[in-house]
Amino acid sequence: MLLPTTEFALLRRVATEQVSGRAPSLVAGVIRHGELVWSAARGKVDDSAPDNLTQYRIGSITKSIVAAVVMRLRDEGRLALNDPLEKHVPGTSFGSVTIAQLLSHSSGLTSESPGAWWERTPGGDWAQLNASLGPDELKHRAGRRFHYSNVGYGVLGELVARLRGESWLDAVRDEVLRPLGMSHTTGRPSGRHATGYAVHPFADVLLPEPEHDAGAMAPAGQLWSCVEDLARWTAFVGGDTGEVLHPDTVAEMREAAVIDDSGPWTSGYGLGFQVVQVNGKRLAGHSGSMPGFLASTMIDPATGTGAVAFANTTAGIGILSLVADLVSMADDYEPVLPAEWEPAAIDTALLDLTGLWHWGPTPYHLRVLPNGWLDLNPATGGGRGSRFRPLGDDRWLGLDGYYAGETLTVARDAEGRPHHLDLATFLFTRTPYDPSAPVPGGVDEHGWRPSASGPSEA
């Protein structure tokens, strides 16, 4: 739980948003280390306050959940992210776009399905959607830029259905919702749920918005959920993944694959997740909107603090800003204490690798981490660096930073002592440009000198 002063500040932020945005109802919650630690509601659903089990339509947050099933298929070896769509879903006019491009909204595919606005009209089946998507619906060269595509996730829903042999919704329910305990997340409203409304821009009156089955476009925004369930999903995005996906896969999904170049570079998109830089934090999650509804879930993986919010209004609420503020306020009012330092169980044979190394004249420090991992970073604190996990045979794989995906190899002398490091052709030596190491380009035979003029060549 949070302190009363923190809870009141959070409540005031929610209350102010509900009033300024004129939302019929607004619910929100804060998640810390996998647990819902605070929630609040303003406004009414059916003449009483909504609670943590009241359903709201979550719109495009649905995309992230569909993406999780696609990544399960990848991890099972059923597909590769660089596979062209036509390998798994033949018969489209855009079969050359890749699964990764569809996940990251970089396929160039049109943003909306042709015909009537899909969010306010009942949808047809896959055959009807595919028939409407001619060559002109590729609006950009694949991979060129970020172009948000609801259609792309309709396509991914068909991909899931074909590889799983069941509907995208059944796959989502079996592989994500049920294992995570999200029993109140459904394809259509079930039990107590909010009605979606439009609020008149110049008068305090409401207009009910339509609700329907979006058909083949449903994977882009069909699901309904509640604070309790979406809190569990928020924890999943932060790395508390249960057995649905490996945390490394979810971390991969959170990496920005493309940026939104329409303005300042404060947001991007990974493999099914939005990533944003706001309030000095790097948050991951997704927001959603459908006629009558707004929703958002974001988490800071660095602190484990996240937030969710729902409103049953078409417009007027800054839902992402609200969620980002709740995360920042929780961390500002009650900063997460760092875990106590204690000695780690490491392989002491790796201690010979630790200490000072040089890439050319630049000093680096190499540290041993638990589980046989290594950390190599400039001694000055800035510049190229990475963590590495062991591959065996004196080889480590770069996990992040400049050397992500590259291999670090330890070369040893005749006595078996570490002599130099080979990292993607860069050589690190114990002394700057050690002449006994195979430094690319060689080392000047005259060595270091006191002046720029150097020795005479006469």
DSSP assignment of 121-136: S----HHHHHHH--GG
pLDDT digits (tens, 9 = 90+) for 156-204: 999 999 999 999 999 999 999 999 999 999 999 999 999 999 999 999 9
pLDDT score of 457 more than 60: no
CA angle 314, 319, 321 (to 5 degrees): 145
Nearest to 224 by CA among 209, 236, 240, 212: 212
245-249 own/partner pairs: CB under 8 Å, 24+ apart: 245/68, 245/71, 245/72, 245/75, 246/75, 249/71, 249/74, 249/75
Alpha-carbon distance of 366 to 352, in angstroms, equals: 10
Cα–Cα distance between 291 and 197 in angstroms, integer?
7
Specify the domain boundaries for CATH 2.40.128 within the chain: 348-429
Domain ranges in the chain with CATH number 3.40.710.10:
4-333
Predicted local confidence at residue 263, as pLDDT: 79
- Average pLDDT (300-321) is 97
Sequence-distant (≥ 6) Cβ neighbours of residue 115 within 8 angstroms: 121, 132
Rounded Cα distance between 291 and 412, Å, is 65
Cα torsion through 73, 223, 316, 111, rounded to 10: 50
d(CA 175, CA 202): 45
Chain centroid offset of residue 366 CA: 29
- Whole-number percent of the chain with pLDDT over 70: 99
CATH number of 4-333: 3.40.710.10
Q: How far apart are CA 285 and CA 229, in angstroms?
A: 14
Candidates 314, 251, 307, 256; CA nearest to 288 is 314
Assigned fold of 348-429: Lipocalin (2.40.128)
Give the Cβ contact number of residue 77 at 10 Å: 7
Please state the rounded mean pLDDT for residues 104-113: 97
Q: Mean pLDDT, the chain, as a whole number?
A: 96
Mean pLDDT, residues 368-386: 93
* Rounded distance between C-alpha atoms, residue 196 and residue 168, angstroms: 24
Alpha-carbon distance of 27 to 18, in angstroms, equals 9
Structure tokens at 300: 């800071």
Query: How far apart, in whole angstroms, are the C-alpha atoms of residue 155 and residue 102?
Result: 8
pLDDT tier, 258 (very low <50, low <70, confident <90, very high otherwise): very high
Question: pLDDT grade, residue 458 (50/70/90)?
Answer: very low
Distance (Å, whole) CA 238 – CA 257: 18
Lowest mean pLDDT among 44-53, 281-290, 447-456: 447-456
Tens digit of each residue's pLDDT (9 = 90 or more) over 189-247: 999 999 999 999 999 999 999 999 999 999 999 999 999 999 999 999 999 999 999 99
Mean pLDDT in residue range 40-56: 97
Residue 339 vs residue 418, higher pLDDT? 418
The C-alpha atoms of residue 56 and residue 211 are separated, in whole angstroms, by 12
Report the distance separating Cα 149 and Cα 103, nearest Å: 9
Which band of pLDDT confidence, cut at 50, 70 and 90, is reported for residue 42?
A: very high
Cβ atoms of 339 and 349 closer than 8 Å? no
**Closest Cα to residue 368, out of 418, 333, 305, 433?**
418
DSSP tag of 393:
T
Determine phi and psi for 18, rounding to 5 degrees.
-65, -40
Are the C-beta atoms of 36 and 326 separated by less than 8 Å?
no
List, in sequence order, every residue forming a beta bridge with 357; answer none if it has no partner.
364
Q: Which residues, in sequence order, are CB contacts of 235 under 8 Å at separation 6+?
A: 31, 33, 34, 35, 299, 306
Helices then strands, counting H and E runs in the chain, come out as 9, 20
Nearest-10 crossing angle of helices 61-75, 247-254: 130
